[in-house]
Amino acid sequence: MAVGEDTFFLDPAFQGTLQSQIQQIVAAAILSGRFEPGEKLPSSRRLATHLGISRITVTLAYNELVADDYLSAANRSGYFVSRTAPVSRMNNTPLADSGDSVNWTHFIKRVFTGGKLVQKQTDWRSYPYPFIYGQADPSLFHQSNWRLCAHQALGRKEFDSLTSDYAERDDPELLNFIARHTLPRRGILARPEQILVTMGAQNALWMVAQILLGNGRRAAYENPGYPGLRDILRHSGSENIGIPVDSDGLPPDLLPRDLDVVFATPSHQCPTTVTMPMDRRTEMLRLARERDFLVVEDDYEFEMSFLKAPTPALKSLDTDGRVIYVGSFSKSLFPGLRLGYLVGSEPFIRQARALRHAILRHPPGNIQRTTAYFLARGHYDAMVRKMRDAFHNRRSVMANALAGSRLRVAGSASFGGSSFWVQAPEGIDTEVLSRQVRDKGVLIEPGSPFFGDGDRPSNFCRLAYSSISQSRIPDGVAQIDAVLADWPMGPARTMRQ
């Protein structure tokens, strides 16, 4: 690595010579860890030109730093941070506030922290039993094919995908695939004017809330449900009502009157994974028409259907334009992709496009084009088939392992999916359980973040099989069960009697 000269700035108020100021800049950067051992400094000529000073001044400063063992000089190669340079004894000491005297409590008008969200372990791959949801499994992802598509998207012939401004439109190849391939598989027919590419499903849901909700509006959401949606609604200014879900998902008969928007996951309820039956879907649409409200359908995991074909999307049954459909490629490809889409009536999509323009203009063009190539060339479908086969086998193994444990399956998708919603014995706090099993190399997702405010059940959790190999599943479940068997409160011992 090389240190760029643009990291150097002279302070006109510095009390001392230019040479001593350069020495101080370099020494402070080394002591703070910004310049690391072995890094090459700018040549004396380049740094002098950048700062507008004499080259001899820089050379003298460098030589003094060599004498103090901050730098080392290599013949004809330049100056480098010394491998034996002094280090600060305060490296582990918290830094001061740098003179920040602003009363942020006064200036911050809206607080966005405080929501209870699912915490993701960044180093999950280092754990032998990662039962965590939504992370890409390297053994199932076609990295070489993705790399080829990315290379083509960045090639000279495709230069427009990298440099074009898509503020008023989206990549035509990606839109074409969504309109002609993805949506028809869900029974949805849509024109390009009715589709908007987003930065993932979360961004899509946020835009929906910004456009449709606010003071005086009422929204209903599933409880338990997606924590990210609940956090969005918390900042929308609307009155938000949690609807308890059952073994068939959201019950339409529990929807209160005078609603404006209902948020639902009918095909694959989050987190219970249950599927809403057809009679409930038709009743939901009947009520939407009769009571004049809209339905936002988050169809986040329909691709993972390996037990049987997924039921038609709610949007496919909509003849009035009352359903706004949210789709995502981040779940089936990888979460860092952050690419999703909205499908709705043109007046709504027109507003969503304008809002996207005001906030982020558009998702990166080269990412859209790379994804379009990956989809259109068949790599995506081939990868999804591979994932379905793997998930089918893993699901069967996990179901057998859970059947012999103290955990009870409280929800599972009728068509497949990538996780189980499970219930621990009464008296078990899965937040505590997650910390105890982590010491045994097991990662689980406690269920409390999925529930709305108020009385949150503490004994639910989500166990995903998307990121763990099939061979490790039985032992991982056994590790959880062993902790439950030794639980000090006792109920785990009698759960299966």
What is the set of domains in the chain, with CATH numbers? 5-81 (1.10.10.10), 124-139+381-494 (3.90.1150.10), 143-378 (3.40.640.10)
Q: Note the pLDDT of residue 495.
A: 38
Place of tokens 């009390």: 15
Q: Give mean pLDDT, residues 2-9.
A: 86
Q: Please, which residues have CB within 8 angstroms of residue 121's CB and are 6 or more apart in sequence?
A: 127, 130, 132, 443
Q: Note the pLDDT of residue 497.
A: 32
Cβ-in-10-Å burial (0-12, 13-18, 19+) of 317 comes to: middle
Instruction: Name the strands in the sheet holding 195-198, side by side, starting at the edge strand that comes first in the sequence.
Output: 195-198, 340-343, 323-328, 294-298, 261-264, 218-223, 239-244
For residue 328, pLDDT beyond 50: yes
For the chain, give the mean pLDDT.
Answer: 87
The answer to whether residues 273 and 309 touch, using CB atoms and an 8 Å cutoff, is no
Q: Note the pLDDT of residue 204.
A: 94
Q: Give mean pLDDT, residues 97-111.
A: 76
Q: Please, which residues have CB within 8 angstroms of residue 139's CB and are 6 or more apart in sequence?
A: 469
Q: Note the pLDDT of residue 335.
A: 75
Cβ-in-10-Å burial (0-12, 13-18, 19+) of 455 comes to: exposed
What percent of the chain has pLDDT above 70? 91
Indicate yes or no: pTM above 0.85: no
Q: Give mean pLDDT, residues 428-456.
A: 91
Binning pLDDT at 50, 70 and 90, where does residue 496 land?
A: very low
Q: Note the pLDDT of residue 194.
A: 95
CA 334 to chain CA centroid, nearest Å: 9
Paired tokens of 157: 């012939």
pLDDT in tens, 192-228: 999 999 988 899 999 999 999 999 999 999 999 999 9
pLDDT in tens, 11-20: 888 888 999 9
497 or 320, greater pLDDT: 320
pLDDT in tens, 333-369: 777 778 899 999 999 999 999 999 998 888 887 888 8
- In three-state secondary structure terms, 460 is strand
SS3 of 367-436: HHHHHHHHHHCCHHHHHHHHHHHHHHHHHHHHHHHHHCCCCEEEECCCCECCEEEEECCCCCCHHHHHHH
Q: Note the pLDDT of residue 491.
A: 46
Place of tokens 């097991």: 442
pLDDT in tens, 66-97: 999 999 998 878 999 999 988 765 555 554 45
Q: Give mean pLDDT, residues 400-421.
A: 86
Q: Give mean pLDDT, residues 294-303.
A: 88
- Distance (Å, whole) CA 460 – CA 431: 9
pLDDT in tens, 152-182: 887 766 666 566 666 677 888 899 999 999 8
Q: Note the pLDDT of residue 66.
A: 94
The answer to whether residues 367 and 337 touch, using CB atoms and an 8 Å cutoff, is yes
For residue 247, pLDDT beyond 80: yes
pLDDT in tens, 26-46: 999 999 888 999 999 999 999
